[in-house]
Amino acid sequence: MIHPQTRIGHVHLTVADLDRALAFYRDVLGFELTLKYGADAVFLSAGGYHHHIGLNTWAGRGAPAPPPGTTGLYHLAILFPDRRALGVAVRRVIDAGIALEGAADHGVSEAVYLRDPDGNGVELYCDRPESAWPRAPDGSLVMYTRPLDLKALVASQ
């Protein structure tokens, strides 16, 4: 059974036009811009969290909207309460023979990526304590993508 404190975290959306999407989520809905990730992605939040919504053009710059009846998510994210719970979940995924697409240390979190049976992206992750999030000298958040040691993660269970 899944850990009872597991919950849905942030969502990343593939968009065709980053400025247009940012204008809607930030300017219309009121989410705060927390980080620009190069020219291809932005992260937004409510209340100062590192991000609730990620918008990116990595696979969709200029692309038409998907036809009706198809999915449009880049991935959904499932937030685990701690590293141990994440390790347990990843072990179950591996034991079920589901292929992992990647694993990353983002500074603020550790994440494992895979696909659901319909091909939708799924991120399983846990956050580090906010006091451990990497920050620049001016106090702004610094996120990155580095390899995650899966053996150590699974062993942490």
pLDDT of residue 49: 87
Whether residue 2 lies inside any domain: the answer is: no
Whether residue 1 lies inside any domain: the answer is: no
Burial 116-145 (b: 16+ CB within 10 A, else e): eeeeebbbbbbbbeeeebeeeeeeebebee
Cα-Cα-Cα-Cα dihedral sign, residues 87, 89, 92, 94: negative
In the numeric block, which tokens belong to residue 139? 């106090």
Query: What is the tally of structural domains in the chain?
Result: 1
Whether residue 41 lies inside any domain: the answer is: yes
Q: Is the pTM of this model over 0.85?
A: no
pLDDT of residue 47: 86
Mean pLDDT per 10-residue section of the chain, whose length is 157 residues: 86 88 85 92 90 88 77 79 93 92 97 83 92 94 95 90
pLDDT of residue 22: 92
- H or E element, residue 37: strand 32-37
pLDDT of residue 72: 65
Whether residue 138 lies inside any domain: the answer is: yes
The whole domain housing 16 covers: 7-64+72-155
pLDDT of residue 118: 66
CATH assignment of the domain containing 15: 3.10.180.10
Whether residue 81 lies inside any domain: the answer is: yes
Whether residue 36 lies inside any domain: the answer is: yes
Whether residue 147 lies inside any domain: the answer is: yes
